[in-house]
Chains A and B, each alone.
Chain A
């Protein structure tokens, strides 16, 4: 087998040195009845060429040749070949978590640079080395807010990604956290009147009784939210702070921060960095990250790289504040996270260094321009309107005169993957679909999409 570096005679030599007849003798501590008699019923062995063929055949069964207008937490953006070349260097790809700092300075410095970039991007003071993804980062941000406030009730915008909310619900259920959903208005933004009433109403006193609701630990919003609409984070945070509650802001489309004001007023930001150099890859791997204020760092989950010196005063980096983590603190850790998404965070770092200050700005401006061009093309079609009035970045919700599913089925014939139907997650948004346009969508495809929708809608049902 090509991955195994021993010749039969070397194996024999080693067995003799150990003092056993065969490798099977080394498994004798496994009770006889549990030792497999036959061989496993799995396919293979395959040569490299056969493996490549197998996966090329699978690739051909997917969506190649289709133009997609899907976003909803996963975005197709330009990626430089440089990013993949760098993260495939064996010294990054095949190294372990940098616990042994002296021979992990490359990874550690890159994490330090990642943390810096994430702070600059989100307008926060500290960032961790990565979380699993945006959904789990959001959940961990909520758990962090629970620890910081000692309160257990959260107000969560209904416009937060439905799958992010489902993940939060799974964790919250077992920890006894109370989740209350706050709706949205015609702008597509969180209903500020309801939020204000909940936050300002009775029950924010230290003591609560069965007749009064528990004090609120935090408000959770996503911006741009699931509808692509930018939330009034500054205003939300002001209300929350007045009630001594924290504000958690999830950002699923990180490129937006190239033109959208960062959530500086938020107490905790949970960012999905997939847009920075990571392929959609059918759902992962991506990289989540949490950013926050320095004063909250000791309640932050996940690894952190810090700058320090050796005995000779040479500058270096090491993992730090590990007393928050499971390998030191065990059942009293801030989180159970161990393996994170380090290589994805490295991809984001390389990608952002390539883009730089100007490049990020340009990508974000192109997304903004193309999404608005697409929105104006689509809303020229009779019966097609924008569902919400709030400001958007590269996604927006259209309301069609017909079922989105039926329109999408027709679009597939044109090799177009149409808007994401919202009816299932938001029953009163039937006939509404979420459209995403990025810098990778050519104008000609936007026009073809609009023409196809127009054609479909002009045909009697």
Chain B
């Protein structure tokens, strides 16, 4: 069946053990310039209580071995640079190379967070420029860029809400979270000291405003909403929801994970959002890097500005400065100013588009709707509400043949694609959550559609083929249960061999 799989074919990949297996005494991968001051005796200087000998388990390998090791490992990964990465809610878009280049410039990468602010005007201008862009794109009033990632942004946002409500007299007890929300929302609410109350979606997968009305009491601090929702649907009654909360003294928090559907088209600040975070590693193209780093700026309305974490970027006499004298601040959420290198990349991305960022948003929405149209009828569409940047199908039709969303996802790997997001959002049993982003050409979208149709066909005719996928990878499905039951979380040096006879 050479024609069935069009995007990929097999190619040898190199075997490679752990780096520790290559180690042999005396090899090295870095040589240092010679010491130009008198050498010291570690034990004499630190004393026996504080000194150690060399770290035993560290490998000893040459430079070429390090290069080959990590290059070989890299070839076992899928990546955006290889093709479409349709993970719903993750916004896996192209990560422009120039962003990497500018983040590494001497004078940017080399700067120390405690150097005098008069010698940091370049860094501070970068931060100020990005702040201005993000405020304009979201329609909010004030911002902090300190949070390290989305989850810390959420926490910062909730702490701001807590501080704001406390200043009004009562921080309140509960945070409302829709059942379609990302897992970080409830986990974060708990760390912010709130109880979580889950609220259900209506038959269209949207927020049930009438139900919400009965839940918003004087105990409720905020509602955390993702808009567009994790179904990829804009909450049409969002302004009504906001008014409802405000009438009871509660605030509206927006998880900006799906901002890729809105940039240049609509602004959360205009539709009643009080606090929101952005994931710069999603909408603003900074690389996921296998799981991070990200950055999670938090944007707020005027009323919450006094509570922002310290330091806050201010302008004094034409110079930029970091101000820590903020009596009402919630404090600091991490050391230094945040993931500055990520901010550099996000600004480079934003400047590349300028106001034209709207085109990226439109293309992302066109791609999702195109895929939806072409796969409708092949896969079950549990909610028919209009899609924006992502579309959520379910495996209901394939279940009849014993094939579930995970099986289809794994089979997609054989077709040369990264799987979509499986089994999320939780309100769709057996979800296939597909977010193509604007970075995919029509050709790539067509290949994906073709692959999905072909797999649907296989599910009906050769279900075993799908259920046992992937077949073309270095390893098959791994024993995750065994991994959790008997965790092996590190390499250990082999036990010293007994002396030879």
Contacts and interface: CB of A to CB of B under 8 A. Distances in A.
A111 B19 CA distance: 12
B484 A321 contact: yes
Interface string A157-197: 00001011011011101111000000000000000000000
Contact of A354 (B66, B239, B352, B369): B66
Contacts, number: 695
B288 A96 contact: yes
B384 interface: no
B77 A297 contact: no
A61 B333 contact: no
A314 B476 contact: yes
B335 A261 contact: no
Given A174-B159, A355-B30, 15 more contacts: A3-B96, A14-B370, A55-B102, A58-B123, A93-B95, A95-B79, A136-B148, A257-B55, A280-B112, A326-B151, A336-B155, A340-B149, A353-B61, A354-B29, A373-B38
Contacts of B291: 96-98, 107, 129-130, 303, 339-340, 342-343
Contact of B74 (A91, A308, A310): A91
A203 interface: no
A404 B439 CA distance: 52
Contacts of A341: 148, 292-293
Interface residues of A, number: 202
B77 A91 contact: yes
Interface string B338-362: 1111101000101111111111101
B293 A285 contact: yes
A97 B334 contact: no
Interface string B101-113: 1111111111111
Interface stretch (B209-217, B243-251, B395-403, B487-495): B487-495
A407 interface: no
Interface stretch (B84-92, B298-306, B451-459): B84-92
A16 to B, nearest CB: 10
Interface string B147-167: 011111011000100100000
Contacts of B18: 109, 112-113, 116
Interface string B444-477: 1100000000000000000000000010011111
A84 interface: yes
Q: Which of A31, A58, A89 has the most CB of B within 10 A?
A: A58
A427 interface: no
B297 interface: no
Contacts of A343: 287, 289-293
A70 interface: yes
A64 B102 contact: no
A281 B148 CA distance: 14
A132 interface: yes
B interface: dominant SS: loop
A312 B45 CA distance: 54
A231 B341 CA distance: 32
Contacts of A325: 183
Contact of A167 (B56, B61, B114, B335): B335
Interface in A233-266: 234, 257-262
B375 to A, nearest CB: 12
A403 interface: no
B161 to A, nearest CB: 11
A330 interface: yes
Interface in A92-149: 92-98, 100-107, 109-113, 115-117, 119-121, 125-127, 129-130, 132-136, 143
A91 B120 CA distance: 34
A282 B113 contact: yes
B67 interface: yes
9 interchain residue pairs of minimum CB distance = A44-B354, A59-B107, A343-B289, A283-B336, A90-B81, A342-B291, A61-B122, A120-B57, A285-B293
Contacts of A102: 410, 413, 470, 473-478
B60 interface: yes
B108 A281 contact: yes
B348 A331 contact: no
Given A55-B105, A357-B60, A391-B50, A63 B115 contact: yes
Interface in A295-317: 297, 303-312, 314-317
A130 B293 CA distance: 10
Given A63-B115, A308-B480, A336-B151, A106 B29 contact: no
B123 A282 contact: yes
Nearest to A409: B116
A15 B40 CA distance: 72
Nearest to A92: B74
A423 interface: no
A417 to B, nearest CB: 5
Contacts of B488: 306-308
A6 interface: yes
A90 B80 contact: yes
23 contacts: A1-B359, A4-B438, A26-B365, A51-B102, A51-B351, A62-B119, A86-B71, A91-B74, A93-B289, A102-B410, A106-B77, A170-B309, A170-B333, A279-B110, A281-B108, A282-B108, A284-B336, A312-B476, A331-B189, A339-B291, A355-B30, A391-B46, A420-B114
A104 B288 CA distance: 13
A44 to B, nearest CB: 2
A370 interface: yes
B120 to A, nearest CB: 6
B292 A339 contact: yes
B80 A95 contact: yes
Interface in B186-226: 186-193, 196
Contact of A330 (B33, B183, B358): B183
B110 to A, nearest CB: 6
A106 B74 contact: yes
A161 B55 contact: no
A68 interface: yes
B441 A94 contact: no
